[in-house]
Chain A
Amino acid sequence: MPIIKQKDYKTWKKFDRKRDLQNWLCWFLGTLIFSFCFGLISSKTIWFYVFDSHNEALDLLGRMFPPETNYFFTLIKPIWDTLNIATIGTTIGTLIAIPLAFLSANNTTPSKKFIRPLALFCIVSSRSINSVIWALLLVAVVGPGVLAGIIAIGLRSIGFCGKLLYEAIEEIDENQIEAIEATGANKAQIMTFGIVPQILPAFTSISIYRWDINIREATVVGLVGAGGIGIELDAQIGDLAWAKVSVILLAIVVAVVFSEWITAKIRKAII
């Protein structure tokens, strides 16, 4: 922290001159990149529509209100489906993620050279393809419906749970494993008594967290035909029935807030 001497008084500055210049350079470069990127985007934008969007938004809101409340009763089945897609999908995803995580953790993998990269590749590719794209592929294979949604959510969850879980496995306390080993336990016993108890808290919190995310994801897989409330949303937007769309949006908000409340409760109960 340099103190700068002016003519007749001293003043304090947070950084010295060199650091100041570096900071300004970073800001300058950042702004440069930002404006460059924004320029490219704006060259592809029809600004008339953007400047007109507030009128459009007001118009849309006018059509959305008042919401058609009776429509809610037809939504109960889709909401139930959405919850099921999220729950069953998370279960499948975590069940597949467990062996993958053990295969890709540095300390439990059977072979570092061959199996670990393979398992890591499975995890990364599951993570990088969004559940909507998974659903798009699966609707073509198993047909439109809840099943495609469940598999899509499950496949997407593998990567997320697998990554967090294998990081948890890599961070376990080796002393406990050694202690179990010293009793003459075999590999399977080491696993069940040494490793599993240590990662169980992480595992539960990861799966609950993913369930919470999956509720949100399950609302959109229907847009490509994979079941749940998304199908209704797609249909009503297609019909331009905005008074019904607002009911669906409200239902989604309620479902998400509900899931957040439940996960908070469960987390408190476990920890």
Chain B
Amino acid sequence: MNDKKVIWKRKPLIKNRLLRIGLILLISTYLLSVFLTTEIDWQRILEGIPRGKNFIFAFFPPDFITRSDEILAGIFESLWMTIVATIVGILISIPVSLGAAKNIAPKFVYFLSRGVITLSRSFQEVILAIFFVKLMGFGPFAGMVTLSLSTIGFFAKLLSEDIEDINKSQTEAIKSTGSSWFQWVNYGVQPQVMPRFIGLSLYRLDINFRESAVIGIVGGGGIGSTLNTAFDRYEFETAAAVLIVIISIVMIVEYTSSHLRKLIK
């Protein structure tokens, strides 16, 4: 009889023991330094809890009726903005994504397009919106420009990755027929990335609508300005109504877009 039991242990996630301990130490020092450098005013939080409670109760019951005209106008404006911005953004993204695909573009164009993408991705919609509102005045036009430009960063990046993955033999076949560059893109590249293209457009439409709710806060028009006005007037019931409307529209858009994407696949 053997007294020693054989016990099975799960393999540790990181094999190197030194690395494991080092990582744990690193993470704990980071957490400690965060804790030490962040000032948290517990007094203020204790004060804030009843205030927050009042604040949340002020949201009930949501009031759809008093400002229903403004809410409707805001939503429609957001929708127009979203549609136009998505289309314009995609139209600009197509050349950029062709330029940002390593297998198609020459080095110089590649780095230029990658630069455009990084720049567009670095800045949040809200920051861009602040500047465009300053440049072009208040209203949906500034919001539309903002959304179109931030569409580039998202759309061109993901589409160019898809273009880099295309099947080379198909494009070669088109090239061997003596096609021009545009014919080559149109018949060799475009059909291969089309499913992804449609999926991404629908996804971006969804994102743009959600973002349009925020850029209104800095003056970019749409439902966000309705929300901001409601907050400024301390009409929290209306603000609650606006939030509920945003959530439900996003839910509808998300369900339809995921359904459409499944249909296309």
Residues of A within 8 A of B (CB): 14, 30, 33-34, 37-38, 40-42, 44-46, 49-50, 53, 56-57, 60, 77, 80-81, 84, 87-88, 124-125, 127-130, 132-133, 136-137, 140-143, 145-147, 193, 216-217, 219-220, 223-224, 233, 237, 249, 252-253, 256-257, 260
Contact = CB atoms under 8 A, between A and B. Distances in A.
Contacts of A216: 121-122, 124
B247 A124 contact: yes
B20 interface: no
B215 to A, nearest CB: 9
B243 interface: yes
B47 to A, nearest CB: 8
Contacts of A233: 127
A224 B55 CA distance: 17
B34 interface: yes
B214 A130 contact: yes
B174 to A, nearest CB: 12
B140 interface: yes
- Interface of B, helix, strand, loop or mixed by DSSP: helix
- The list of the 10 closest CB pairs from A to B, nearest first, reads A141-B52, A49-B137, A128-B250, A37-B80, A45-B141, A143-B44, A256-B122, A53-B135, A220-B124, A130-B214
Interface in B209-231: 210-211, 213-214, 217-218, 221, 227, 231
Interface of B: 10, 30, 34, 37-41, 44-45, 47-49, 51-52, 55, 76-77, 79-81, 83-84, 87, 118-119, 121-124, 126-127, 130-131, 134-137, 139-141, 144, 187, 210-211, 213-214, 217-218, 221, 227, 231, 243, 246-247, 250-251, 254
Given A34-B84, A133-B214, A256-B121, A146 B127 contact: no
A45 B130 CA distance: 17
A80 B34 CA distance: 9
Given A56-B134, A129-B243, A44 B123 contact: no
A53 B44 CA distance: 43
A46 B140 CA distance: 10
A219 B254 contact: no
A80 B36 CA distance: 12
Contacts of A147: 38, 40, 45
Contacts of B118: 253, 256-257, 260
Given A37-B80, A124-B250, A146-B38, A220 B137 contact: no
Contacts of A44: 77, 139-141, 221
A124 B254 contact: yes
Given A34-B83, A46-B139, A125-B247, A140 B34 contact: no
B6 to A, nearest CB: 16
B45 A257 contact: no
Contacts, number: 147
B84 to A, nearest CB: 5
A51 to B, nearest CB: 9
A57 B79 CA distance: 28
B81 A41 contact: yes
Contacts of A130: 210-211, 213-214
Contact of B126 (A41, A46, A132, A256): A132
Given A34-B87, A37-B84, A84-B38, 20 more contacts: A14-B187, A38-B80, A41-B77, A44-B221, A46-B139, A50-B137, A77-B37, A124-B250, A124-B251, A128-B247, A129-B243, A130-B211, A133-B214, A143-B44, A143-B45, A143-B47, A220-B126, A249-B127, A252-B127, A253-B118
Contact of A145 (B39, B80, B144, B243): B39
Nearest to B217: A132
A33 B87 CA distance: 11
A142 B122 contact: no
A233 B127 CA distance: 9
A50 B142 CA distance: 9
Contacts of B80: 37-38, 40-41
Contacts of A80: 37
28 contacts: A34-B87, A37-B81, A45-B136, A46-B137, A46-B139, A49-B137, A50-B141, A56-B135, A60-B135, A81-B37, A124-B247, A128-B247, A136-B217, A140-B48, A141-B48, A141-B51, A141-B55, A145-B40, A147-B45, A216-B121, A220-B124, A220-B126, A223-B126, A223-B130, A233-B127, A249-B123, A249-B127, A253-B123
